[in-house]
Amino acid sequence: MERSLSSSSEEREKTVEAFGWAARNSSGHLSPFVFPRRETGAEEVRVKVLYCGICHSDLHCLKNEWHSSIYPLVPGHEIVGEVSEKGSKVSKFNLGDRVGVGCIVDSCRACESCRDDQENYCAKAVATYNGVHHDGTINYGGYSDHIVVDERYAVKIPHTLPLASAAPLLCAGISVYSPMKYFGLAGPDKHIGIVGLGGLGHIGVRFAKAFGTRVTVVSSTPGKCKDALETLGADGFLVSTDEDQMKAAMGTMDGIIDTVSASHSILPLIGLLKSNGKLVLLGANEKPFDLSAFSLIIGRKSVAGSGIGGMKETQEMIDFAAEHGVKAETEIISMDYVNTAMDRLAKGDVRYRFVIDIANTLASTRS
Ligand code: NAP
Ligand code: ZN
């Protein structure tokens, strides 16, 4: 039965027990963890988590590679599930609706970015995990049985999208979709490069093809060529360490989406751009890049960054994905496989996104 709730301070102080897997320190090792979640507020929904994707950002955070991790840390920001409870003022969702929750669960709602539907660039945006809720509690992510979120920061998942392969769209999907649109790289008259064929990269190829864009994968792994061309539909494949191949492709791309998670050289990538071309950095490695002024001056090129997307654009991306059949290639795993999955992800050994089957495998890990 539908349960309407108010957000009186008395109710907000109550909590509901939640269960997930957390890392306790920068070893990143995950293990079972019981913790409190707040009561569902008037404008919030409680989401029963069904699947959660494993983003490389989860791995960066688990290992404290960005020097900001708060432990215990429950990762997970590629969350899909269904509404199990809703507050009295919720208008967007009904009980049982299929919903997605991505990287942010709040923002100031008043600044220029928030007013422009770019909550992702709000200086006060609150991360789904490793972020601090306005009541001072630490947020825990989707490697858990349920999550409570303001309806503004949840999106609807159309029935035509299979849930498990939709989960990675909530972070990887929007992170590649948004810059392709913003930087004018989506369309049949464009040729783009996608550097790094991992979670973000492979969805990037699929969105590019759905936009009608010509896309070349630039990869450090020659063994991914067949898959890139035949399974994902890329138009070309370059091995980034093959100087002859890289030289032959110089000056051919309107834009590049760089998703590499590790330190790497960007000068050869800038060389691939045509005049006015844009290299967009998505990979969140904290080491500084090599860059020379002349590499940009000659040809008026630019290097930019991009981070996820706003809530309106995230819904637009999900609807576009449903309409065009864009989905992730997944390896669906059980909760107790997560540490092995992290080891494999660190080595680039995943095709192309691990997704945890939370609904069917989490509860049995509770002793
Ligand atoms: P992933 O699945 O691990 O893919 C990263 C890919 O980078 C690998 O598959 C590999 O592709 C390539 N790579 C890895 N190490 C490399 C190296 N040393 N040299 C050259 N290439 C290397 O990771 P992901 O989940 O797609 O995330 C990628 C990065 O984006 C992470 O840093 C993550 O934190 C960040 N991220 C950013 C945003 C954003 O909004 N900006 C959002 C989500 C994630 P090849 O084998 O094809 O070379
Ligand atoms: Zn992510």
pLDDT value of residue 13: 63
Q: Is 314 in the pocket of ligand 1 (CB under 6 A)?
A: no
Is residue 363 lining ligand 1, measured as CB closer than 6 Å?
A: no
**Which pLDDT tens digit goes with each residue over 129-169?**
999 998 899 999 999 999 999 999 999 999 999 999 999 99
β 104-106/126-127 pair status? antiparallel
Which atom of ligand 1 sits closest to the CA of residue 172?
43
Report how far residue 30's alpha carbon sits from residue 336's, in angstroms, rounded to the nearest whole number: 9
Q: Residue 16 above 70 pLDDT?
A: yes
Give the residue whose CA is nearest to atom 9 of ligand 1. 198
> Quick one: which atom of ligand 1 is closest to the CA of 282?
41
| C-alpha dihedral (314, 320, 323, 325), degrees to nearest 10 | -90
Nearest ligand to the C-alpha atom of residue 282: 1
Ligand lying nearest the CA atom of residue 167: 2
Distance from residue 344's CA to the centre of ligand 1 (Å): 13
CA-closest residue to ligand 1 atom 20: 220
Q: Cα(69) to centroid of ligand 2, in Å?
A: 15
Minimal-distance CA residue to ligand 1 atom 11: 196
Write the CB contacts of 316 (distance below 8 Å, at least 6 apart in sequence). none
What does the pLDDT look like over 297-332, one tens digit per residue?
Answer: 999 999 999 999 999 999 999 999 999 999 999 999
Among 78, 200, 226, 330, name the best residue to mutate to test ligand 1's pocket (greatest count of ligand atoms within 8 A of Cβ).
Answer: 200
Report pLDDT for 134: 87
Residue 10 has pLDDT above 80, yes or no: no
* DSSP code at position 288: P
Residue ranges per structural domain of the chain:
15-171+328-365, 172-305
Picking from 95, 82, 91, the residue whose alpha carbon sits closest to that of residue 2 is 95
Average pLDDT, stretch 223-234?
Answer: 98
> Can you tell me the distance from the alpha carbon of 165 to that of 53, in angstroms, rounded to the nearest whole number?
9
> Could you confirm whether domain 15-171+328-365 is CATH 3.90.180.10?
yes
Ligand 1 centre to CA of 200 (Å) is 7
CA distance linking residue 204 with residue 48, whole number of Å: 28
Share of the chain above pLDDT 90, in %: 94
Query: CA 33, CA 275: separation in Å to the nearest integer?
Result: 52
> So what's the pLDDT on residue 344?
98
102 or 3, higher pLDDT: 102
What per-residue confidence (pLDDT) applies to 14?
84
End-to-end CA distance of the chain: 30
Inter-residue contact 187 to 215 (CB < 8 Å) = no
- Residue 352 Cα to ligand 1 midpoint, Å, equals 11
Residue 2 has a pLDDT of 36
Give the closest residue (by CA) to ligand 1 atom 36. 283
Q: How far apart are CA 299 and CA 271, in angstroms?
A: 10
pLDDT tops 60 at residue 4: no
Mean pLDDT across 255-276: 97
CATH fold for domain 172-305? Rossmann fold (3.40.50)
Q: Is the pLDDT of residue 8 over 70?
A: no
With tokens 């306790």, the residue in question is 24
| pLDDT, tens digit (0-9, with 9 covering 90-100), for 118-135 | 999 999 999 999 999 988
Query: How many C-beta atoms lie closer than 10 Å to residue 363's C-beta?
Result: 11
pTM of the model: 0.96
Considering every ligand atom, which ligand is closest to the CA of 309?
1
Average pLDDT, the chain: 95
